[in-house]
Amino acid sequence: MKYQSGSIGRAIVARFEDGEDFLQSIQDLAKDEGIRSAVFFLVGGVRKGRMVLGPKGGEMPPEPVWDEISGNSEMLGTGTIFWDGETPKAHLHTAVGRGEKVRAGCLREQAGTFLVLEAVVLEIKGVNARRGLDPVSGLSLLTL
């Protein structure tokens, strides 16, 4: 295990409007506010998206199992923001459900808000964390 110790900086509360791409918007917020490292929490509605529900097997690089979010659903998520080069990159895991169908996974694409989605972003100060391409997995992973 590798780790660094830091402290909580600013706390930002945001509201994403109906139809807004909240994944892109949270990355834009980090860029606009100069946030290099953060943890964030989301609660509200999602209307569309693509998420990875896990790998198909245990091979490297992993082959993702993709699932589409269609229709209006409830969502609860937590994620991190670290920069990959000159761009903030959000890594978001969510539980998404409507009725009896609930899925959990990594939301990666097409993150559309249904009605309203609330976010709390907690900036992490004093760490030198970033994302970078891992040659074994082929993913952009956290490096310290």
Question: Domain locations in the chain?
Answer: 10-126
For 28-42, how does the pLDDT look when each residue is reduced to its tens digit (9 = 90+)? 999 999 999 999 999
CA–CA gap between residue 22 and residue 61 (Å, rounded) = 28
* pLDDT reading at 49 higher than 90: yes
Q: Which residues contact 84 (CB under 8 A, 6 or more apart)?
A: 130, 131, 132, 140
Domain 10-126 has CATH 3.30.1330.80: yes
User: What tens digit of pLDDT does each residue of 68-87 get?
Assistant: 998 899 999 999 999 999 99
Neighbours of 19 (CB within 10 A): 11
Tell me the pTM: 0.95
110 pLDDT above the threshold of 90: no
- CA 30 from centroid of its chain's CA atoms: 12
pLDDT category, 104, cuts 50, 70, 90? very high
